[in-house]
Structure 1
Amino acid sequence: MAEAMSTAPQGETRAEAYVRLKKEIASIVAGETSETARFATAACLLAHAFAPRFFWTGFYQVDPDKPGELVVGPYQGTLGCLRIPFGRGVCGAAAETGETQLVPDVHAFPGHIACDSRSQSEIVVPVFRADGSLAAVLDVDSADRDAFDETDRDGLEAICEILLKA
């Protein structure tokens, strides 16, 4: 059964939107055992809540057959890169370090992978399983430079922290 997406209340701040979305995502995925379903839900709700600022929102999952590579998972947006090696580009850096990458200008990021030439800024957040292993990274691109800040970092990290643990 499909869940209805909530709408932002008048005057809601981005920080408040992230709190609302975290609760909404946790509620929808509660009891769901499929990582794919959990990622698809989060990508959909985030993309719709923050469009058009988020023009690509999705997950690159650790490939169980090639543990040093990410493979595209559920996303909303234009065609994504299919595979990204750990350590390459913004997603690969997040996978390799286990740390959020907040990039105000992707053209200044060494080794940036241009999956879509419209991308100007990007934030990538690692997603860990309850056992601490890396499952995926959440990748969000914007066609605007400097589109992401600490509010986005805090909000997306909070969502990713509960995504596989709720």
Structure 2
Amino acid sequence: MTDQPEASPKASRMSPLSPHLVIDGAAEAIDFYVKAFGAEEMARLPGPDGRLMHGCVRIAGQTVMLVDENRQYGMLSPSALGGSPVTLHLDVPDVDAAFARAVAAGATVTMPVADQFWGDRYGVLKDPFGHSWSLATTVREVSLEEAKAAMATMTGGCAA
């Protein structure tokens, strides 16, 4: 027996665990994710005021839900909060090409793509709506022991 919840019948249409982003400009974010990450738009459900009550895209086969900010209900976007503590991570076949595509679509580089000690070519960017995205391509396999040793070297022996 497992402590994991069972997937609902929606699982054939959606990922069992999906980020649900609150965005100031959710409809524009859908358009950005299509351009930047090759997202497939799945749904847009605007409310009477035109703001999205529900939006949904599929990125790299995974569902990302979106909703417009609604302060009345405590749904605050990164712009209202002064940033987001969450980073969405996307493994891609060619990180340099994917990164360039996202930047061309309007993302801002927060960490340029570079080879990392854990074996990925990796970079971080911020989308125009305040959400942080890390993109990576594995370029070499690194064991946990090798990663710990490399981190200890980088931090002067202070790695866990």
Q: Tell me whether the two structures share a fold, i.e. TM-score over 0.5.
A: no
TM-score normalized by the length of structure 2:
0.23
Point out the structure with the larger helix share. 1
More RCO (CA 8 Å, sep 6+): 1
- Choose 1 or 2 for highest CA Rg: 2
